[in-house]
A and B are shown apart, each in its own frame.
Chain A
Amino acid sequence: EDKVVQSPLSLVVHEGDTVTLNCSYEVTNFRSLLWYKQEKKAPTFLFMLTSSGIEKKSGRLSSILDKKELFSILNITATQTGDSAIYLCAVNSGGYQKVTFGTGTKLQVIP
């Protein structure tokens, strides 16, 4: 059975801190790993990773994949209160439509 595990489950930091969110996976026939941000409603897409060692970056957010050790990290530097959300990791494996989501990391950024 495919498995995606995110850690920590929740995190409280102060504005300006840097955070690292983790996603490890055990799947058959890995195809891609995606990160989403979920505030109050719909998850929104952040990054898609398919190759090891290539950092994807968007402003203060960055992500990297390690296909040998089967994990990905999402970094957020200089956190702001608007970064408060649940961050979801999802892995596409096996069948083209098979996507397994982790349970998410809840990040709270306090002023």
Chain B
Amino acid sequence: DAGITQSPRYKITETGRQVTLMCHQTWSHSYMFWYRQDLGHGLRLIYYSAAADITDKGEVPDGYVVSRSKTENFPLTLESATRSQTSVYFCASSEWGGGQPQHFGDGTRLSIL
């Protein structure tokens, strides 16, 4: 099925651990994005990618790493998880960029103990 899928849907881990959230899209959209959603803050952009091997920081990039070796995949890694990174993470893709309609995945709820 065409779409954007995130995995895992739920994840519990401990502070200091490395964790990777996966995102896969089947539309061949050029642009992909990672957001976190927290109460009182709305969606905030962590990183985005304009094409394979091109990534750039968003509003809240500290503590996160991304890569994009293939157009369809955009994994997000927390190198050493902290409690403040407990959040719901959404991946999105867009054909023409952030100011155009984005298609979102169903999110990953991440809890860091």
A residues contacting B by CB (< 8 A) are 4, 31-32, 34, 36, 41-45, 48, 88, 90, 92, 96-99, 101-104
* Contact present for A103 and B42 (CB under 8 Å): yes
Residues of B within 8 A of A45 (CB): 101-103
9 A-B pairs with the lowest CB-CB distances in the bound complex, closest first: A92-B99, A42-B104, A97-B98, A45-B101, A101-B42, A101-B43, A41-B106, A103-B42, A99-B98
Give the contacts of B40-61 with A (CB-CB under 8 A).
40-45, 48, 50, 56, 58
B residues contacting A by CB (< 8 A) are 31, 33, 35, 40-45, 48, 50, 56, 58, 90, 97-107
Chain A contact residues: helix, strand, loop or mixed: strand
B91 nearest in chain A by CB position: A42
* Contact present for A41 and B107 (CB under 8 Å): yes
* Contact present for B103 and A99 (CB under 8 Å): no
A31 nearest in chain B by CB position: B99
Instruction: Compute how far the CA of A99 lies from the CA of B31 in the bound complex, rounded to whole angstroms.
Output: 13
Instruction: Compute how far the CA of A4 lies from the CA of B45 in the bound complex, rounded to whole angstroms.
Output: 14
Residues of A within 8 A of B45 (CB): 97-99
Residues of A within 8 A of B102 (CB): 43, 45
Q: List 28 A-B contacts (CB under 8 A).
A: A31-B99, A32-B100, A41-B106, A42-B105, A42-B106, A42-B107, A43-B43, A43-B102, A44-B104, A45-B101, A88-B42, A88-B43, A92-B98, A96-B97, A96-B99, A97-B50, A97-B56, A97-B97, A97-B98, A98-B45, A99-B98, A99-B99, A101-B44, A102-B42, A103-B40, A103-B41, A103-B42, A104-B42
